[in-house]
Amino acid sequence: SCFRVVNMGSQIPNEVLVQRAWEEKADAILVSQVVTQGNVHLSNLTNLVELLEAEGWRDKVVLVAGGPRLTHSLAIELGYDAGFGAGTKPSDVASYLCQEVIRRKGAFPY
């Protein structure tokens, strides 16, 4: 298989997510975020970027956000590499991840 996926479940604190990504030597981190009251989801998404930057890891992972109200432009504005909104097919996300990880590593799987 092309990917090894670790699903951490829902409502994971960002600090736990960053620690696990480090332990797994993750090439990518995907966050699915629903819209919250008072736009807490925006501060949560921003906090994840800030944690990765503070550890010096932001440029080492492909960071993707998804959710029913997220757009690519909003994700970029928040510091993510890509955003996927409502109607996105899993194959679209997988294709993006595969291409971006390969591009960053400068390697080809064939």
- Judged against a pLDDT cut of 60, whether residue 108 lies above it is answered with no
84-105 residue pLDDT tens: 998 999 999 999 999 998 888 8
pLDDT of residue 39: 76
9-38 residue pLDDT tens: 888 999 999 999 999 999 999 999 876 676
Structure tokens at 1: 């298989």
Could you tell me the CA-to-CA distances from 1 to 12, 27, 92 in Å, in that order?
A: 26, 15, 17
The residues, ordered by sequence, that sit 6+ positions from 32 with a Cβ below 8 Å of its Cβ are 65, 66, 67
The residues, ordered by sequence, that sit 6+ positions from 21 with a Cβ below 8 Å of its Cβ are 29, 57, 61
| Cross-strand pairs, 82 | 64
Could you tell me the CA-to-CA distances from 38 to 41, 42, 44, 72, 79 in Å, in that order?
A: 8, 9, 12, 21, 20
pLDDT of residue 107: 59
pLDDT of residue 68: 87
